[in-house]
Structures are given as C-alpha cells and as structure tokens.
A and B are shown apart, each in its own frame.
Chain A
C-alpha cells in the first residue's frame, strides 16, 4: 500500500474558476477526512465520510464546496467559483473504524493539494 494519495499536488487557478481535488485513501480504511491548512496555521477540519456517507460537515464548508465519496473508495473535493481566500493546502486523511480512545483509528494524511487562486 502506498498510503494516501492526493492529486493534483499543486493547482493554480484564476478567481471564479472551479477546481476539483482527488483523494485515494488507504484501501482498507473506511473513514476519510478533508482538512484545510492556510499559511502559518494548523489544519482545520472540513468534512468526514464513513464509507460513502458524509457524516459531518464543518461550517467552513460553504455552499461553494462539495465533497463526494461515491463508492466508498476515492473522494473528490470540488470548489466552485474560487475566491482568493480559498488559497490553502487541502489535506486528505483516512483511518480505519474505531473509537479515538482506543487509539486504533489513527489518521494517515496525504501530502496535500495546494491551491493558489490568483
């Protein structure tokens, strides 16, 4: 297994354009997460899937953002009508099922997709 893969690694776009990022999690992981990291800040939770079900969304995920995981495997994060404030690193992570306190469901992060909106 090669870990969590994200594509593209870097995307430069003009304001108002749509962009889509793809995440391929570790194959046996049921859970998939998206986080956003802006310069000089820690990652912030955006949304979470268990299999194909999107179970929680942050208030950071405005109507211009949509995430899918149609077959419970890879996921896409689409940003419509991009704004300069969307410039950030978008991180994907996956984990097996398990309660946090058990320590069993540790997240594995991908290297991220960096978005630059001009």
Chain B
C-alpha cells in the first residue's frame, strides 16, 4: 500500500539553527510529494511540492528534493525562526485524476528565541 513515514517529534531548535525533518514514502507508481504545515488553530497549508523525481520544491526558505532512489523527501531550512514553530506533515498523492493525499503522522517543530 501507500504510506509515509516521518520522524517523530518534537524537534526543538534555537532560532537560526538548521532544520531537517526526514520523510520517506512507499507507493505504487510515481507519486507527487508534498509538505504541509499546520499552525495552531489554523488549517493545513501547502508549504511546497514536487511532482517528479529530482524536482526540488521550495517556499519561504524551506526546501525538499524528491529522491526516487531513496524514496525520500526530507524537509530542510537553513535558519529557522520562532514563527516556524508548527506541525509539519509530509504527504503523497498518486498521479490520478484527483488528489487523495496520504499523510505522515506529523512532526512538531518548536523554535525558541
């Protein structure tokens, strides 16, 4: 079946530290990959995406590269801010006619000043 595994949290960092949140996937076929972010009291927001192997998604200083050989889509940011504190979800969707997302369990990021 299709599944996403991401590192457990919380991840606790100081402001300006480097961030990596690991995500690996299992899928039949060639999925599109996503990172969503959920701030307290708000809906899930798409952070970035990649639709084929070797694509790099980027947004707001965050990056992730679709690695088919390692079935991974790790999220990175060079210098985190307190405002980045949130829960981050890795997800996949098969390239069918509609977007049926399969999510990981989420990783909480806590950034302290």
Look across to chain B and name the residue whose beta carbon is closest to the beta carbon of A50: B98
What are the interface flags for A81-104 relative to B under an 8 Å C-beta threshold, 1 for contact and 0 otherwise?
Answer: 000000000010101000111110
Q: Does B89 make an interface contact (CB < 8 A)?
A: yes
Q: Does B61 make an interface contact (CB < 8 A)?
A: no
Q: Does A112 make an interface contact (CB < 8 A)?
A: yes
A103 to B89, alpha carbons, bound, how many Å? 18
Closest Cβ of chain A: how far from B107's Cβ, in Å? 10
Considering the complex, which residues of chain A in the window 101-115 have a beta carbon less than 8 Å from any beta carbon of chain B? 101-103, 105-112
Q: Does A26 make an interface contact (CB < 8 A)?
A: no
Contact A40-B32, Cβ < 8 Å, known A45-B100, A100-B95: no
Q: Does B44 make an interface contact (CB < 8 A)?
A: yes
Closest Cβ of chain A: how far from B8's Cβ, in Å? 10
The residue from B36, B42, B44, B103 contacting A44, defined by CB atoms under 8 A apart: B103
- How many A residues are at the interface, by size bracket? 20 to 34
Q: Does B52 make an interface contact (CB < 8 A)?
A: yes
B51 near A103 with CB under 8 A, answer yes
A26 to B100, alpha carbons, bound, how many Å? 18
What are the interface flags for B78-113 relative to A under an 8 Å C-beta threshold, 1 for contact and 0 otherwise?
Answer: 000000000001010111111111111110000000
Look across to chain A and name the residue whose beta carbon is closest to the beta carbon of B31: A100
What are the interface flags for B11-39 relative to A under an 8 Å C-beta threshold, 1 for contact and 0 otherwise?
Answer: 00000000000000000000010001000
Look across to chain B and name the residue whose beta carbon is closest to the beta carbon of A3: B43
Look across to chain A and name the residue whose beta carbon is closest to the beta carbon of B94: A100
Which A residues form the contact surface with B (CB < 8 A)?
A: 3-4, 31, 33, 35, 40-45, 48, 50, 55-56, 91, 93, 95, 99-103, 105-112
21 contacts between A and B (CB under 8 A): A3-B43, A31-B99, A40-B106, A41-B106, A42-B4, A42-B104, A43-B44, A43-B101, A50-B98, A91-B43, A100-B32, A100-B94, A100-B99, A103-B51, A106-B99, A107-B99, A109-B36, A109-B45, A110-B43, A111-B41, A111-B43
9 closest A-B pairs by CB: A42-B103, A109-B43, A109-B44, A101-B95, A111-B43, A100-B95, A100-B93, A100-B32, A101-B51
